[in-house]
Chains A and B, each alone.
Chain A
Amino acid sequence: MNKAPVNKIIPSSVVDGPGNRTAVFFQSCNFDCRYCHNPETIHLCTGCGACVKTCPAGALSFAEGKVVWNEEKCCGCDTCIRTCTNNASPKVKYMSAPEIWRKIEGSLPFIRGITVSGGECTLQAETVRELFAIAKAHGLGTLLDSNGSYDFRNHPELLEVCDGVMLDVKADCEERHRWLTGCSIKPVLDNLEYLASVNKLEEIRTVCIPDSLDSKKTIDTVGEILKPYLEKKDIRYKLIKYRHFGVRGKYQNFKEPAEQYMLDLKKHAESRGFRNIVII
């Protein structure tokens, strides 16, 4: 059975899709976004042990060259996260889909679905597929939050058990996408079109930073690709205000957008055919 690194499971999330959902956050991401607000989820632990020394609760130790986290002892102070120079966390558990499901089960019958996120959850595509299959068998909805790097087109078995993808479109063009994330925008835009064409595009998400990113153009790029689909189906566009909270120090000089800036973007998205636009 596949085991995947799980950063945390939130029993009740109201910001990861419709209704009350349990959200599973997987560890590790193939993007390295400058504005990432939980950078401790980017990499896997290398076992350097720096955090073992600084942990005030004695909750971290070494065993077989790996850092072991004692959940009982942990006081949740996040000193380990601040100590880590590798954008990782020692508080990660390797879990199989049935093991994750046993944690989610405690949230029944209070949730209408589950959402997997990260990190980048598609790096654990097989575990996600297995987990979604179990959730579906229990009548739950299944949503997936992705940076768009995964090749959904060639893995229909995952989409079969996934109700929809909440897709990040972080920039308008290759150059800016590479500047921001370190990776190409091409697979993201391919997925945008493909997911819309197979009716699996639940939501598009764009984090907006005035001056540094041209969110208007990003909306143009997205709007252009989705034009034929928007006429048939209302697709939600979530415009997310950049916030300093959690962002690494060296990238903290980005500007937080004003309310009016976001309202202008909303208006622009409306002109591009979007009817369901959410600003958060």
Chain B
Amino acid sequence: MAYIRKRNKKIFGIFLVPAMLVLFLTTIYPMLYAGYLSFRSYDLAKPFVPRVFVGWSNYREILTSSEFLHTLIVTAKLMAMTLSVQLVLGVGIALLVTQKLPGMGVARTLLLVPMMISPVIVGLVWLFLYFPELGYLNYFLSFLGVGAIPWITSTNWALWAIAIADIWQWTPFVMMGTAAAVQSLSPEPYEAAMIDGNSRWDVFTRVTLPQLKPVLVSLMFLRAIDAFKIYDIIFVLTKGGPGDTTEVLSLFIYRQSFTFWRMGVGAAASFVSLVIIVVLITLFFKSLNRDDYA
């Protein structure tokens, strides 16, 4: 028996090698290399700039930079805008599509389409919609007597324009998760609430929502982590502009790495971003644990 266990262990080990190799080459090694770069002065475009060890200097530069702080604020603002709307809309639509009404199956499938599209394509679709002079959105708004809105070229509108595109793409994710949870809810509490004569709103706030809370918390954290890394849509729509209105953290990292070619600074900014995400994840798991013991 011990021999079989030992032999199985060996076989399992052999089977694990390819996966570990891929993981090492595609995740661990690049991460270690990025960590190494973050302590160096490394300019890809200018090999004549000395590539030397600079200690914590790249991290110091980032953490004391007003630009970096600004990108954190913009990222937080965008997260607040998108997550709040996605939560409300996602739950609302989930409650609707879980009703036993005709056509809900088709509606549910169609609502998932935006989520399946690549974010770059989503960006391009919304670029056509937002385009100031020729965009469809302003064209249709003109029928309502609304003047042309400079969606992506105004400091007042640009962040909202990005948020709308993100909400359009990711609300279905919240809807899908919530709908699955709604369908798995036990009917007994509802029957009891109905017998007690509660209104629909009371049933929703006192029965449905408390039961959905763990799922909604999970969905929001997953969306928060995703929203924190938002890049593609902004790159296509505004590239951080106008001014620095839509300059989020990912774009800051991109500019440092591939516009200024300061790979060391870019790598350090990536690690700072990683730390923030790890903190978010830790909070997420702590919150889940709290729910488990509540």
Do chains A and B interact in one complex? no
Q: Which residues of A contact B (CB under 8 A)?
A: none
Q: Which residues of B contact A (CB under 8 A)?
A: none
